[in-house]
Amino acid sequence: MPSHAKSSASRHRIIAFGETMALVTPTSNEPLEFAQEFRLDIGGAESNVATHLAALGHETSWVSRVGDDALGRRVTTTIRDRGVDVSLVEVTRDAPTGVYFKDPGVGVLYYRNGSAASTLGPGILDQVPLADAELVHVSGITPALSPSCSALIDAIFERLDQKRTLVSFDVNYRAGLWSVADAAPRLHRLAQQADIVFVGLDEAQTLWGTSTPDEVRALLHAPDRLVVKDSDVGATEYSPDGETFVPALKMEILEAVGAGDAFAAGYLAATLDGLDAAGRLTSGHQRAALVLRSMSDYVADHPTDEGQPS
Q: Can you tell me the distance from the alpha carbon of 287 to that of 126, in angstroms, rounded to the nearest whole number?
A: 33
Q: Are 98 and 21 in contact (CB under 8 A)?
A: yes
Integer Cα distance of 208 and 19 in angstroms:
25
Q: Cβ distance 174 to 141 under 8 Å?
A: yes
Contact 70, 96 (CB under 8 A): no
Candidates 154, 261, 273, 305; catalytic one: 261
Angstrom CA distances, 17 to 29, 173, 213, 280, stand at 30, 16, 27, 22
Write 107-110 long-range contacts (CB < 8 A, 24+). Answer: 107/257, 108/257, 109/32, 110/21, 110/176, 110/177
In which element (H, E) is residue 58 found?
none
Q: Is 261 a catalytic residue?
A: yes
Active site residues: 261
